[in-house]
Amino acid sequence: MMSVDKTIQTDRIKLAFVERGNPEGTPVLAIHGWLDNAASFDCLAQNMDLSDIRLIALDLPGHGLSDHRERGQIYHLLDYVVDIVSFIRVLELKNIVVLGHSLGGIIGLLTATAIPGIVDRLILLDSFGPMTDKEEKVAEQLKKAISKICLSTPRPSTVYQTFDDAVSARLGGFGKIDASAARVLLQRGLVKTGKGYKWATDSRLREPSLVRLSEAQVRGFMESVGCPVCLIAASDGYVSLETNHNPRLAYLSNLETHLVSGHHHFHLDGDVAKTGRIVNDFIYADA
């Protein structure tokens, strides 16, 4: 399957992305998770029928081959929504499907609330809304974030002697992942230097959030999503499909759910074939 690497300049930042499939097909905007990149969807794309789909996998700001934010800026969750809408406007996309994994699913959900006339469908991969804080915790969160962002000395970037050394380090990172999947991600997630390999991701991505939403605010966002939503959870992931463990399942009025074997990155190293079928069926449901 042919993929085409592209970059585009929005009014905010230069973004890199990968296109596959039919340029005249239904636009599907794929948004990866935290510290990942557009290669997150390489395996899934190989297990999808793209004959009538224009699959656009984006590197979020600070990730993959996209630009980092300017010095002095931070990575706030809601800023990503502005970035996504700017990207959609520049590409002049309409009637799109948003496909998001982890952080990408959170951003996709918020985008669906922000531009409901443009997002027709939403697919969430082991992702179901933002992290929250109780009201009594917000001051402590701000204190922790400011201490890290403004008052601490940045640590020098880690340099790995070999590509495999970096793969080993990624295996110990957030979200269980196997070595083959890590290699897929790191083909786009590393920069080769004269001394070895270092992460392409902006180190500021690891800074704590200044503030998190409350559960009431998350409910408000989710209840405003009017388009059909498909939630695909991993059997050993982070999202529960049990209503007694996940009250957010009641927040969405038009939701279908599926369980797929695998861990948090199941679209890379779990039952990718089943995931591809579910995604295709949902996109083509009313075709």
Which of left, alpha, beta for 247 (phi over 0: left; psi -120 to 50: alpha)? alpha
Residues sharing a CB contact under 8 Å with residue 175, sequence separation 6 or more, in sequence order: 33, 102, 263, 264, 265
Cβ-based neighbour number of residue 118 at 10 Å: 18
Kindly give the residue spans of alpha helices, DSSP state H, lying in the chain: 42-46, 77-91, 103-114, 138-150, 163-171, 179-189, 215-223, 266-269, 272-283
Annotation marks residue 147 as catalytic: no
Which amino acid does the sequence have at 153? T
Q: How far is CA 261 from the centre of its chain?
A: 20
Residues sharing a CB contact under 8 Å with residue 180, sequence separation 6 or more, in sequence order: 269
248-268 core/surface letters (b: 16 or more CB in 10 A; e: else): bbebbeebebbbbebbbbbbb
Interatomic CA distance for residues 265 and 176, integer angstroms = 7
Phi/psi for 3 (5° steps) reads -120, 150
Collapsing DSSP states into helix, strand and coil, what is residue 127? coil
Catalytic residue among 102, 209, 235, 240: 102
Instruction: Name the nearest CA neighbour of 215 among 254, 253, 251.
Output: 251
Known catalytic residues? 102
